[in-house]
Structure 1
Amino acid sequence: MPGAQRSRSRLMTMAENASVTQLELFFDLVVVFAFTMVTDAAAHDATPKGLLKALLILMLLWWAWIAYSWLGNVIKADEGIARLAMLVAMGATFVIALTIPEAFHDLPGGWYGPLVFVIAYLVVRFVHLAMFWMASADDPQLRGQVIRWAAGSLTIAGTLLLIGAFNHDNWQIGLWFAALAGDMAWTMIAGNDWRLISASHFAERYGLIIIIALGESIVSIGIGVAGLPVSWPIVVGTLLGLAVSGLLWWAYFDVAALAVEHELHKATGERRIQIARGSYTYWHFPMIAGIIALSLGLKKVLNYVGQDEGHTLRDALHGIPLFCLYGGVAAYLIALVGCKQYATGKISVARLVAAVALLVLIPLASVLPAMAALGLLCGVLVALILWETLRMAEPREEIRHGSHV
């Protein structure tokens, strides 16, 4: 009994009907702060290369976060030594966020920014590996999976990231993208012997990161008009921006998230792992990237309309901010289609049509005032949601209120 108590104090296995712990939510808030720093970095360097760098950092953050989404589904994140591990990972993630402005260009004075970024990132990854190693002590199948994954994934990523930190510009970007590509590819071929104990916990974790990221887009709306006197353009612009975020929330949570979660519950063995990895780990990233891009676009729109009621109100949004505004929402919708199709085999045609329509409308939006461009975007989303709600009323009711699990 004393030995069992000592083991219990170190790690606790996740229950099948478990929910996301408060510590995991706390961890996610730190990650989303890093997302905010990515948005700021993209806003300060709104060029194609600047967006590429922002995307690269966002991918690194996402790949670190998803590791903990899998870990938290095997052991309770707020019990025993796992609690300490989560807090250490949070601290390292916060350091990552602080060094994002220096990830590619070291500032004079202080430590060498790119190396600090990489070291903090590797701390997050190795803490995760250590916890999975301990969690698999009595599970030979999981231990074998952890060994296969770590042997290639962290070796490839760690080496290329460290080499890239001492290079500059295109070499650094290329090496860090190679690190990510190798990491992701190795994860795909390393096997499906992972454990997914609670489908509810896993789906909830990803739903929460979507909500928090959408919250960050709302923060961007406020930042865009911070310190400006309240006027009708600001009120209308902020409400349109809030409506866009709300409609994206609706598109995810009304039916799509429930349909995928139902399939995750029903799946067993290797198929459950495939859905978790395909629909959540991979297809959720374009959603997050789309939300971050939307945040940048919303910030620019509100900055335009909030300046005054003269010429800036008539100015059109163009270039990178416009592409982020429309392209971000299009990427989000396409990712939602892919996420649902991977799990259920069904394609949401209306969402693909809406995504294509947004991309086609970019030239028109580029000659409209920024406020009108935002209104047009909102109008497309309203039309999509109304169509789905009315046209698919019966299957929607079945998914939302029927018995599936």
Structure 2
Amino acid sequence: MSAEKILNKPLKLFAPRDPEEAHRAATPLELLFDLIFVVAIATAGQQLHHAMVEGHLWHALPTYCMVFFALWWAWMNFTWFASAYDNDDTLYRCLTFVQIAGSLVMAAGIPAVFQQHNFDVIIIGYVIMRLALVTQWIRVAKHDPERKVTAYRYAIGIVLVQLGWLIGNFSSIHMTTWLFLILVFFELAVPFYAEKHATTPWHPHHIVERYGLLTIIVLGESIIGSFAATQEAFSNRVINYQEVFLIIGGLLMMFAMWWVYFDRSHHHHQRRGVQPFLWGYGHFFIFISIAVLGAALAAAVDVSIQHAHISSQMMGLIIAASLAVYSTYIWLFYEAFYLSGWRRWVYPITVLILFSIPFLFADIGYIVFAMAVIYILRLMISKVYLMNCDDELSITTH
């Protein structure tokens, strides 16, 4: 057998996957990819946690949003591409490994972004991930004639935006907030432009599962925050009531958020067209609100033992804001336009109550516990009184 045949043997036809394929589930490689992202998300969360404790939230929050966007966008592009074209051959695995390596480079650069506003390392890691994906799109252009134009639009668009990141950061222009937002706009616009020619054959059930898995991963930040509270409480000889309420409240809050999201799991299957973009892009607010909440729960531990330069009231407002962003997404996509009467306003009323709680209690433990109770009650109301709304909500699936 010739050397050329030996080299080509591990490569398969890069044909599109069947979007109606039965029993399509996340692959072990996708799970490994997600596991690597845990490191980056946790690193960013730790930096935000420290900023909250030191009273530098308003300085760190825009930076956190920038970092989290880079992580989320790299994950999302890999996920949707894999849903449509994962053929699991040797080259596909190797290029995925390059993206994994890029994510680790990004994670390594996160502390410098927060401490020195230095984006050098994180942008290098981001560009590594994106250019590996460009190679995948070139393979698509070669093997999927029907979507050749779509693939080249993706490849060229991604390359041009990466040049923008490199020039904006490593030239005399410097990375400003406005330049970042402009580049984000072009990043988000590339899929819109590319998919106008021919839609890629992503698998609805697979995409829903992948988003659900990342939701669970980011919820892990809330678990870490609750665990930190538990560890701190039991490391002291005397456990005060505030810490006990913080432990229970944090766990209840995490569980309620999980329940609310996955109670809607059968409504996540979206039609093709504009709706998948709204659903897919809108999940950014789901993920980042959960991640901020995790960092806030960890910081709440420091507040409870008076090791933080932030008040219990302000900490409570941060947690309330995280829950509000999370709830707003659920409400807008699954209730606001599909329910009638008083049922439509359950979420907004819940949010108003959440924001009032920090002004009713002096200690952060009681604040977190009260918020968790309100959120659990909202969940119970939904289960008891809104069970007959499935027919109304099912409009999102058709």
**Match in the other structure for 2:40:** 34
**1:21-51 CA-partner distances (Å, limit 9, x unpaired):** 1111111122132111111222233331210
Report if aligned partners of 1:99, 1:114 keep a CA contact under 8 Å in 2: yes
**1:216-275 CA-partner distances (Å, limit 9, x unpaired):** 221122235545515254443222101101000010101x221122xx3xx3xxxx1433
Q: How do residues 15-30 of structure 1 correspond to structure 2 at under 5 angstroms?
A: 15=18, 16-17=21-22, 18-30=24-36
Counterpart Cα distance in 1 of 2:170 and 2:334 = 37
Counterpart Cα distance in 2 of 1:47 and 1:316 = 12
**Match in the other structure for 1:14:** 17
2:244 aligned with 1:240, yes or no? Answer: no
**Match in the other structure for 1:346:** 338
Aligned residue for 1:103, secondary structure, equals helix
Counterpart Cα distance in 1 of 2:330 and 2:90 = 36
Report if aligned partners of 1:133, 1:146 keep a CA contact under 8 Å in 2: yes
Normalising by the residue count of structure 2, what TM-score does the alignment of the two structures yield?
A: 0.83
Q: How do residues 6-405 of structure 1 correspond to structure 2 at under 5 angstroms?
A: 6=9, 9=12, 11=14, 13-15=16-18, 16-17=21-22, 18-45=24-51, 46-76=56-86, 78-103=88-113, 105-106=115-116, 114-165=119-170, 171-192=175-196, 193-224=198-229, 226=231, 229=235, 231=239, 233=241, 234-254=243-263, 256-261=264-269, 264=270, 267=271, 272-279=272-279, 281-305=280-304, 307=305, 317-319=312-314, 321-340=315-334, 346=338, 349-350=344-345, 352-354=347-349, 356-358=351-353, 360-361=355-356, 364=359, 368-396=362-390
Report if aligned partners of 1:89, 1:127 keep a CA contact under 8 Å in 2: yes
Change (3 A) 1:395 1:104: closer
Report if aligned partners of 1:62, 1:285 keep a CA contact under 8 Å in 2: yes
- When structure 1 is superposed on structure 2, of 354-363 and 324-333 the one drifting more is 354-363
Report if aligned partners of 2:83, 2:207 keep a CA contact under 8 Å in 1: yes
Amino acid at match of 2:177: I
**1:322-347 CA-partner distances (Å, limit 9, x unpaired):** 333111111111112334369xx625
Gaps of 5+ in 1: 108-112
- Deviation of 1:60 (Å): 1.3
Aligned residue for 2:131, secondary structure, equals helix
Aligned residue for 1:251, secondary structure, equals helix
Normalising by the residue count of structure 1, what TM-score does the alignment of the two structures yield?
A: 0.81
Aligned residue for 1:318, secondary structure, equals helix
Report if aligned partners of 2:17, 2:201 keep a CA contact under 8 Å in 1: no
**1:77-116 CA-partner distances (Å, limit 9, x unpaired):** 6443211111111111011011101126559xxxxx6222
Change (3 A) 1:54 1:312: closer
Report if aligned partners of 1:287, 1:335 keep a CA contact under 8 Å in 2: yes
Aligned residue for 1:195, secondary structure, equals coil
Report if aligned partners of 1:290, 1:331 keep a CA contact under 8 Å in 2: yes
Change (3 A) 1:148 1:396: same
For CA contacts below 8 A with separation 6 or more, give which structure has more relative contact order: 2
Change (3 A) 1:244 1:95: same
- Deviation of 1:162 (Å): 3.8
Report if aligned partners of 2:142, 2:148 keep a CA contact under 8 Å in 1: yes
RMSD: 3.3
Report if aligned partners of 1:77, 1:83 keep a CA contact under 8 Å in 2: no
Report if aligned partners of 1:10, 1:81 keep a CA contact under 8 Å in 2: no
Amino acid at match of 2:359: L
Change (3 A) 1:168 1:99: farther
Report if aligned partners of 1:161, 1:179 keep a CA contact under 8 Å in 2: no
Report if aligned partners of 1:153, 1:182 keep a CA contact under 8 Å in 2: no
Gaps of 5+ in 2: none
Runs of 4+ in 1 over 4 A off after TM superposition: 10-13, 104-107, 165-169, 224-228, 395-400
Report if aligned partners of 1:161, 1:175 keep a CA contact under 8 Å in 2: no
Amino acid at match of 1:290: S
Identity %: 20
Amino acid at match of 1:14: R
Change (3 A) 1:188 1:195: closer
Amino acid at match of 2:296: G
**Match in the other structure for 1:110:** none
Change (3 A) 1:157 1:105: farther
